[in-house]
Amino acid sequence: MYWLICLLVLETILEGMLCGGVFAANATLRKTACATAAVLLTGLTVALCLREWQIWAWAAPAAGYRLVNMLRIYWSRLPRPQLRTIGLRAFNWLVTVQILVTLLAWLAVRYTFGMTLFDILVGLQLLGAIIVLRVSLHTWRHAVAPAGGAANLSDRELPSVSVLVPARNETDDLERCLEALVASDYPKIEILVLDDCSANRRTPEIIRSFAHDGVRFIQGDVPDETRWLAKNYAYEHLSREASGDLLLFCGVDVVLEPQSIRRLVCLLEARSKDMVSVMPLRAKTVARGSSLLQAMRYYWEICLPRRLFKRPPVLSTCWLIRGAVLKRMGGFESVTRSVNPEAQFARRAVVTDAYSFIRSDESLGVYSNKAAEDQYSTSVRVRYPQLYRRLELVALASVFEFVLLLGPFIGLFWAVYLVHAMAYVLIWIVSLMCLFTTYGLVSVGARLTNPLFGWLLMPVAFGVDLIMLHISLWKYEFASVEWKGRNVCVPVMQVEPRLPKA
């Protein structure tokens, strides 16, 4: 047993040297050391778990993330200084957590207070579910679009609005979006659509077919992928061409009612805000099924206590901002590589209470129709960057989601093996009621799923989201993330273009 631990200590030292860049100059030596450390870590973790699983099994997940960290060193897709910084940071966090968990597990076995720790864990599950419920209800209530507002503004008093739509290889969704926009009753509107180097001919043809309705065609160009995310570059191009006082950014999957823009502008003026982001309803024409990925995307914006950290909820689907404020913030030049540039602007605006997050209803009339394939692509594109592309934060988020969100479901299946099972069952039932309520607010409230699916598929949604988080991590770190036919890994991860992307 002791010699296994000694070998594990030696492996940890070797791993720390790898993360610190000791072998970075020689590729062959680096890869050999990485392979050796990975084999040792895997073998020793398995051996220790077989010897005393009650202690070492709890630390095994951290070992898995350490293996991923070593793979980053092995492939070396990032510039050497950046790789050394993020690799050493992840190593320090993961090893520290592994030591603390192992020590706690040893003490629990040695002094037989394992059930006390289990009781604390169950209590934390209940507390977490209550906090999530409280935050979700608060955010949901304050995100309602008011029926009144500054609806008494005359046409002359209304500011001018530029609606900005980037499009790449779009067809039916783009046509539906533009048909809705040209039907708007807003008196001072210009509609700008950028063809972002579409590979098909249909996209520019659709845009030009609306020229007689006032839609302005803008031809995009290829961005410098080492500096710009293509979508941000398209936004920057559009915002430079816009002449309106307010800028409304829309995805092609957005469908607006004729009164939607007027209501959004009136709401912005009534609340004296600089920026408003909208959580759309699912389009009326789409049958409600089981939109798990989009529901979880909305869920994370609603259920987390974002106000404590000045991280307001925001969605890229449809958002409105004052042109002067956007320019003062530095425009998209200040967020060239950000997967969620609107989140950066919202963070700056919320500091001065100049930001609002609104959920659409029938009167506001903002709808979205995102196909399942696009939902998957969006989830892969945003999940890892949402955690700042930090491996240790992925590990922490995974533990949170597995223990606090999936834990009560798992507990109910194992309750028959527990002493005083009824008390645990009651706690888990209360926890699940809180979680069902929060998930139902989003999935059913935004019309993403029908009520039956919204209740029954909640644990499936949590599990799928956990899987998607790791798929996103893997694709960003070791493969490529394709968005509209472009690999966004180069600007987001700052991957060196000369190196292989897969």
Mapped onto helix, strand or coil, the DSSP state of residue 278 is strand
Query: Per the structure, how many domains does the chain have?
Result: 3
Domain that holds residue 471: 114-140+383-493
Residue 42 lies in a domain: yes
Cα separation, 67 vs 39, in Å, equals 9
Work out the end-to-end distance of the chain between its first and last CA atoms, rounded to an integer number of angstroms.
40
Establish if 378 belongs to a structural domain: no
**What whole-number distance in Å separates Cα of residue 38 and Cα of residue 27?**
16
Q: What is the mean pLDDT of residues 196-223?
A: 94
In total, the chain counts a number of residues equal to 502
169 and 258 in a single domain? The answer is: yes
Which residue has better confidence, 149 or 195? 195
The mean pLDDT value for 297-306 works out to 94
**Per-residue pLDDT tens digits for 24-76:** 889 999 999 999 999 999 999 999 999 999 999 999 999 999 999 999 999 99
Query: In 90-135, at which residue ranges do the beta strands (DSSP E only) sit?
Result: none
pLDDT in tens, 348-373: 999 999 999 999 999 999 999 888 88
The reply to whether 101 falls in a domain is: yes
Residues 253 and 343 in one domain: yes
**CA angle, corner 294, sides to 289 and 269, nearest 5?**
115
Q: Is 84 found in the same domain as 166?
A: no
CA distance 102 to 44: 14
As a three-state string, the secondary structure of 330-395 is CHHHHHCCCCCHHHHHHHHHHCCCCEEEEECCCCCCEEECCCHHHHHHHHHHHHHHHCCCCHHHHH
Q: What is the pLDDT of residue 217?
A: 97
Q: Check whether residue 24 and residue 81 sit in a common domain.
A: yes
Same domain, 391 and 355: no
Whether 122 and 10 share a structural domain:
no
Does residue 196 fall inside a structural domain? yes
Instruction: Give the C-alpha separation, 334 to 339, whole Å.
Output: 12
**Which is nearest to 438 in space by CA: 295, 265, 323?**
295
Specify which residues 190 forms β-bridges with: 162
Compute CA 274 distance to the chain's CA centroid, rounded to the nearest angstrom. Answer: 24
Residue 307 domain-assigned (yes or no):
no
- 449, with CB counted inside 10 A (0-12, 13-18, 19+), is buried
pTM: 0.93
Do 162 and 229 fall within a single domain? yes
* pLDDT value of position 25: 85
Token representation of residue 29: 């030596």
In angstroms, the CA 158 to CA 266 distance is 8
With a CB cutoff of 8 Å and minimum separation 6, the contacts of 385 are: 338, 339, 340, 476, 492
Distance CA 376, CA 423 (A): 39
Q: Is residue 437, in this structure, part of any structural domain at all?
A: yes
Q: Give 309's pLDDT tier (boundaries 50, 70, 90).
A: confident
Among candidate residues 166, 165, 364, the one with its CA nearest the CA of residue 257: 364
Distance CA 187, CA 167 (A): 24
Tell me which DSSP letter residue 213 carries: G
DSSP state of 406: I
Q: Are residues 208 and 248 in the same domain?
A: yes
Note whether residue 298 is domain-resident: no
- Quick one: which of 113, 122, 41, 123 has its CA closest to 74? 41
pLDDT tier for residue 492 given thresholds of 50, 70 and 90: confident
Residue 278 near residue 437, CB atoms below 8 Å: no
CATH code, domain carrying 226: 3.90.550.10
Instruction: Report how far residue 447's alpha carbon sits from residue 289's, in angstroms, rounded to the nearest whole number.
Output: 9
Q: Are residues 174 and 90 in the same domain?
A: no
Residue 488's φ and ψ, nearest 5 degrees, are -90, 0
Q: Which of 306, 340, 370 is the last residue of a domain?
A: 370
Q: Which tens digit of pLDDT belongs to each residue from 334-345? A: 999 999 999 999
Residues 321 and 391 reside in one and the same domain: no
Q: Are 487 and 480 in contact, with CB atoms under 8 Å apart?
A: yes
Phi/psi for 166 (5° steps) reads -85, 140
Residue 287's pLDDT is 55
pLDDT, one tens digit per residue, over 151-197 is 568 889 999 999 999 999 999 999 999 999 999 999 999 999 999 99
Q: Say whether 196 sits in a helix, a strand or coil.
A: coil
One domain, residues 468 and 482: yes
Residue 448 placed within a domain: yes
Q: Mean per-residue pLDDT for 400-407?
A: 94
CB-based contacts of 406, cutoff 8 Å, min separation 6: 459, 462, 463, 466
Q: pLDDT over 70 for what percent of the chain?
A: 96
The pLDDT of residue 500 = 39
Cβ neighbours for 113, distance < 8 A, ≥ 6 positions apart: 107
Closest CA to 193 of 235, 159, 143: 235
The DSSP code sequence of 387-437 is TTT-HHHHHHHHHHIIIIIIHHHHHHHHGGGSTTHHHHHHHHHHHHHHHHH
Please indicate, yes or no, whether residues 177 and 61 belong to a single structural domain of this protein.
Answer: no
- Residue 104 burial (C-beta neighbours within 10 Å; 0-12, 13-18, 19+): middle
Domain boundary among 110, 131, 161: 110
